[in-house]
Amino acid sequence: MLTRRRFLESAAVAPLALNALQGAEPKRIAIVCTIYRYLSHAQHMGDRFLIGYPLNGEWHKPNMKVVSLYVDQKPDGDLSEARAKEFGFTVYPTIAETLRCGGKKLAVDAVLTIGEHGNYPRNEKGQILYPRYEFFEQARKVFEEDGRVVPYYNDKNLSYSFEKAKKMVSAAHSMKFPMLAGSSLPVTWRLPDIELPLNCEIEEAVMVGEGGSDAMDYHALEAMQCMLERRKGGETGVKAVQMITGDAVWKAGEDGRYSKALLTSALSRSDTPLGLTVQDGRTQDLVGNGELPKLVKEPAAYFIEYRDGLKATLLMLNGAIKDYNFAARVKGLGIQATSTQFFLSPVPNVTYSAPLMSKAEQMFATGVAPYPVERTLIVSGILESCLTSKVQDQKRLETPYLGVTYRAPTQSQYARS
């Protein structure tokens, strides 16, 4: 029954949104990025608009033309000029010129901004100060001055600063241009292919991930958020957060601040347990066999208390696993239906960025963001607040400013066809 439905979806429904627009005049796209180097986000995402990408079992070529590019830094290995030459567009020295294609007025139909990678300083909270807000501001000014707006895509979190992120979203809403942002994790394949039912009653959630802050923790938090926003009542905002590190993380587990059953469940979805598995191939119940504290030298827990009472925890477990897995306790559902891996396919292809670019393409083509930018806004704020808690003696931090409310999209948006 499930398979038949899925088959029909893959057969007919999914490609329509994009393919229906193939006959129209190609949309003109400006790319605004920090760096354009092999395997930078700008390269693997931007290239998808130049050479196409795998989508729904085909090599999909967007009916779009990249007409201009801005790169903030040109490190060794910069590909911007080579791409411009090969694909017939121009690299401009400023964002305004990029959006106006060297002319006097906004001359593109959409902006793809990728402010990830490159050499930028970190602040005292360890956040890399990527100039996403600053890029946005320059684009916004062009929209304002030229009296026209176009869809705007922003890769990953909106800004390291929630205040700045909030300004971006407010501007998009008041100036009425569609805006989409965020991570590829919410839209990548899931193993298993599950979605929490809309309006379900979520009692608790645990997400596990690995990697550095504030890069990979953002992805993990957004993956968790795309599941939690589907709960009854929709997103209500965040009341308080706390980030703790070190042995306190294990103690918090003993004290029941997060469910060890959910942690076991999330880890049961991992394909990358380290330690004894790497040594001799054996399977492991990392919670049950007591290996977790031995493997993770610097654990970090991100506790999120939502305004409606839901509690969620992200555990960053460097040294124990290499993938991103989620588990929740949901009223009326078994744990097999509420736990999954967000599948990050291998380097170099990183095919998981293809579904993300298909969402950007969809917004560029239709003028409608397939999911609310508020998701990215709230997670930008959750991450910044957690990192603030971390540097403020890891104390619980009330977050009255995180009153971001929104509803999940009715249609599931992750890759499944």
Between 268 and 394, CB nearer to another protein: 268
| Orientation of helix 374-391 relative to helix 162-175, angle to 10° | 160
β-strand partners of 238: 306
Q: How far is the CB of 84 from another protein (least distance, A)?
A: 13
Q: How far is the CB of 268 from another protein (least distance, A)?
A: 3
From residue 7 to residue 36, what is the string marking binding to another protein with x (rule CB under 8 A)? x--xx-------------------------
Burial class (CB in 10 A: 0-12, 13-18, 19+), 9: middle
- Choose the binding region for another protein from 5-13, 102-110, 156-164, 389-397 (rule: CB under 8 A): 5-13
Find the binder of another protein among 23, 147, 281, 309 (CB under 8 A). Answer: 281
Site of tokens 């929104």: 406
CB atoms within 10 A of CB 394: 17
Contacts of 397 (CB under 8 A, 6+ apart): 240, 241, 242, 385, 388, 389
Q: Are 363 and 371 in contact (CB under 8 A)?
A: no
Measure the CA–CA gap between 149 and 247, rounded to whole angstroms.
50
Nearest CA to 404 out of 131, 142, 170 is that of 170
Find the binder of another protein among 16, 20, 38, 411 (CB under 8 A). Answer: 38
Between 245 and 272, CB nearer to another protein: 272
- Choose the binding region for another protein from 47-55, 143-151, 152-160, 210-218 (rule: CB under 8 A): 47-55
- Residue 343 as a binder of another protein (CB under 8 A): the answer is yes
Between 151 and 253, CB nearer to another protein: 253
- Residue 348 as a binder of another protein (CB under 8 A): the answer is yes
Token output for 379: 């997670």
Measure the CA–CA gap between 222 and 224, rounded to whole angstroms.
5
Q: How far is the CB of 266 from another protein (least distance, A)?
A: 9
Token output for 240: 């308080």
| Orientation of helix 162-175 relative to helix 132-146, angle to 10° | 20
- Choose the binding region for another protein from 52-60, 109-117, 298-306, 394-402 (rule: CB under 8 A): 52-60
CB atoms within 10 A of CB 301: 24
β-strand partners of 156: 182
Strands (E), 120-168: 152-155
Between 103 and 346, CB nearer to another protein: 346
Torsion of CA 43, 49, 55, 61, to 10 degrees: -140
The residues in 307-336 that bind another protein, with binding defined as CB under 8 A, are 322-323, 327, 334-336
Strands 339-342 and 90-91: unpaired
Q: How far is the CB of 7 from another protein (least distance, A)?
A: 5
- Residue 3 as a binder of another protein (CB under 8 A): the answer is yes
Find the binder of another protein among 16, 39, 175, 391 (CB under 8 A). Answer: 39
- Cα–Cα–Cα angle for 74, 78, 83, nearest 5°? 120
Q: How far is the CB of 332 from another protein (least distance, A)?
A: 15
Measure the CA–CA gap between 189 and 166, rounded to whole angstroms.
29
The residues in 94-153 that bind another protein, with binding defined as CB under 8 A, are none
Q: How far is the CB of 280 from another protein (least distance, A)?
A: 5
CB atoms within 10 A of CB 349: 12
Q: How far is the CB of 273 from another protein (least distance, A)?
A: 6
Find the binder of another protein among 85, 282, 294, 297 (CB under 8 A). Answer: 282
The residues in 184-243 that bind another protein, with binding defined as CB under 8 A, are 189, 191-193
Q: How far is the CB of 335 from another protein (least distance, A)?
A: 4
Measure the CA–CA gap between 65 and 49, rounded to whole angstroms.
7
Tell me which residues touch another protein (CB under 8 A): 2-4, 6-7, 10-11, 38-39, 43-44, 47-48, 51-54, 57-59, 79, 82, 189, 191-193, 264-265, 267-274, 277-285, 287-288, 322-323, 327, 334-339, 343, 345-351, 354, 415-417
